[in-house]
Amino acid sequence: MEKKKKPRSLKEALEGKLSKKEREKLITSFDSIGDIAVIQIHEDLQKKAKLIGDALLSTNKQFKTVCMVSGEHKGKYRVQPVKVIAGKKTLKASYRESGCLFSVYLGKVFFSPRLSTERMRISQLIKENEIIGAFFAGVGPFPIVFTRLSQMKKAYAVELNPEAYKGLLHNIGLNKCQNKVEPILGDVKKVVPKMLLEKCDRVVMPLPKGGENFLKEAMMALKSEGGIVHFYRFVEREKGVGQPLKEIKEAAKELGMKTRVLRKKKVRSFSASKEQVVIDFWGKKI
């Protein structure tokens, strides 16, 4: 008897189960957050969500659960609603990156594996004994990966969402970096003037939607001898980085600082018209 071949892709696993028209609407890319796959499903295919989820489980043995995205990232905590469509009914993922372990409660906190290359890139730029301002820290991927891949002295990890802060505390414990990462629950706008003025050699700002409103706080946190900011932002692809460069200049002018752009680059495509960019700049009080 001929042995049934195991499907090699999601499309293959759904052959004969979806019509040709439905297969054309199938989005085959997905995010892997450890043992949980997060997939987008076209609105015309939502009734087939379980079928699609089961097919994904059958082709990828690493997953125990498949979730579908059920809305946009929303609110100031930037949380994306998701729901389980197949496998074990859990939203608690266990994720590994650069030798670090993270526990992530999907649907309650922001998390994206897509900035892992950026975390590595910045780790390589950090010099021995640097003090880092890890703004918008979420459950801690930036400061915790820095602990592992750089020789920084310390990172202040500032996060506003109490649920993400809880995850941050947990992940600091999991990775045994209590002596290197100081978690701070609060709003960057209030925390910087109270605790972080002129404390940092480097500040990371992974808040691509709205981060421009915190540029002054990032610059105020830089040491008086100067420091570096990594500023993430969504831009219209056609317009490029003109707007964020203008925002940096304006914030510097208000604070009486001089700045120099060190690098500007695309991080990833976000939508048909938008992309995420990062601008690395140096700044110092005049």
Ligand X SMILES: C[S@@+](CC[C@H](N)C(=O)[O-])C[C@H]1O[C@@H](n2cnc3c(N)ncnc32)[C@H](O)[C@@H]1O
Chain residues binding ligand X by CB under 6 A are: 76-78, 110-112, 115, 136-138, 141-142, 158-161, 164, 187-189, 206-207
By beta-carbon proximity to ligand X, the closer residue of 33 and 52 is: 33
Shortest distance in whole angstroms from residue 19 CB to ligand X: 37
For the chain, list the strands marked E by DSSP: 30-33, 36-39, 65-69, 82-87, 92-97, 100-105, 131-134, 154-159, 181-185, 202-205, 227-236, 257-269, 274-285
By beta-carbon proximity to ligand X, the closer residue of 102 and 281 is: 102
Axis crossing angle, helix 116-125 with helix 141-149, rounded to the nearest 10: 50
Shortest distance in whole angstroms from residue 115 CB to ligand X: 5
By beta-carbon proximity to ligand X, the closer residue of 189 and 263 is: 189
By beta-carbon proximity to ligand X, the closer residue of 86 and 251 is: 251
Mind giving me the DSSP string for 32-70?
EETTEEEE---GGGGGGHHHHHHHHHHH-TT-SEEEEE-
How distant, in Å, are the alpha carbons of 105, 163, 176, 181 from that of 185?
Answer: 18, 10, 19, 13
By beta-carbon proximity to ligand X, the closer residue of 79 and 86 is: 79
Joined tokens for residue 238 = 């056609």
Q: Which residue is nearest to ligand X (CB)?
A: 138
Exposure string over 6-39, b if 16+ CB within 10 A, otherwise e: eeeebeebbeeebeeebeeebeeebbebbbbbbb
By beta-carbon proximity to ligand X, the closer residue of 188 and 267 is: 188
Shortest distance in whole angstroms from residue 7 CB to ligand X: 32
